């Protein structure tokens, strides 16, 4: 029976080699292997990107619910593939009624409609930016985008308390994480967020993050 050996390197024996060089697997002194999380590995590679909507003390005022008018979205062009990592929503002021959050994917690029560029991004989450995102981040569609093809909700949340002061920090934060579902968006495609209410609209901030590859 073949044996597998690792390099027992907990602290002082840790070493690194040049890119492309062979390296023995690293482990603990009791033989337990050490393995990088898949997302961590791609962040180190420079393939993790982010975009933010709203800045510092200037939140978005989310829109009245309407078809083809998302509040925040990521356009994935042909030839590009993304895996959503997270969508973080912070409500600064709640709506006058329940606030509904609907994160969905579509099998087409819905375009810009009448909207504005995201406040920030897409930006590489590795600061030396070895790769540039091919995606486009947009916010607040006040005019129709292209209708979504086969839209599919991948996550929903609700703020069920009308709280104009926005005092409940826990209720104000809503986070989609990749381990809740595993969508793979192969362009042309769209990742879109709708934040909706029936009376006074909520205000808040949105942060997207995703891993991005060329389609091949």
CA–CA gap between residue 90 and residue 73 (Å, rounded)? 16
Q: In the prediction, which pLDDT does 86 show?
A: 94
Residue 170: the pLDDT is: 46
- Check residue 163 and give its pLDDT: 53
Phi, psi (degrees; rounded to nearest 5) at 18? -75, 160
CB under 8 Å to 140, separation ≥6 — which residues?
60, 63, 71, 72, 115, 116
> Do the Cβ atoms of 206 and 54 come closer than 8 Å?
yes
Q: What is the pTM of this model?
A: 0.85
SS3 track for 55-68: ECCECEECCCCCCC
Length of the chain: 216
CA distance 88 to 92: 13
- Per DSSP, the three-state class of 171 is helix
CA-CA distance, 62 to 203, in Å (whole number)? Answer: 6
**40-214 maps to CATH 3.40.50:** no
pLDDT below 50 — which residues of the chain? 164, 166, 169-170
- How far apart are the two ends of the chain, measured CA to CA in Å? 38
Domain extent listing, the chain: 1-35, 40-214
């Amino acid at each position: 029976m073949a044996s597998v050996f690792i390099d027992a390197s907990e602290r002082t024996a840790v070493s690194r080699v040049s890119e492309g060089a062979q390296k023995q697997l690293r482990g603990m002194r009791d033989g337990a292997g050490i393995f990088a999380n898949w997302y961590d590995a791609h962040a180190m590679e420079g393939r993790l990107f982010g975009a933010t909507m709203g800045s510092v003390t200037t939140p978005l005022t989310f829109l009245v619910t309407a078809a083809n008018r998302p509040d925040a979205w990521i356009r994935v062009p042909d030839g590009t593939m993304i895996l959503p990592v997270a969508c973080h929503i912070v409500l600064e002021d709640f709506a006058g009624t329940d606030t509904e959050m609907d994160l969905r994917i579509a099998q087409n690029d819905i375009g810009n409609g009448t909207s504005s560029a995201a406040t920030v991004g897409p930006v590489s989450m590795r600061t030396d930016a070895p790769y540039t995102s091919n995606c486009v981040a947009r916010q607040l569609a006040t005019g129709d985008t292209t209708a979504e093809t086969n839209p599919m909700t991948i996550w929903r949340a609700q703020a069920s308390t009308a709280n104009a002061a926005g005092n409940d920090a826990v209720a104000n934060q809503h986070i989609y994480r990749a381990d809740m579902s595993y969508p793979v968006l192969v362009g042309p495609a769209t990742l879109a967020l709708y934040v909706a209410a029936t009376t006074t609209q909520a205000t808040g901030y949105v942060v997207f993050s995703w891993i991005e590859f060329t389609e091949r």
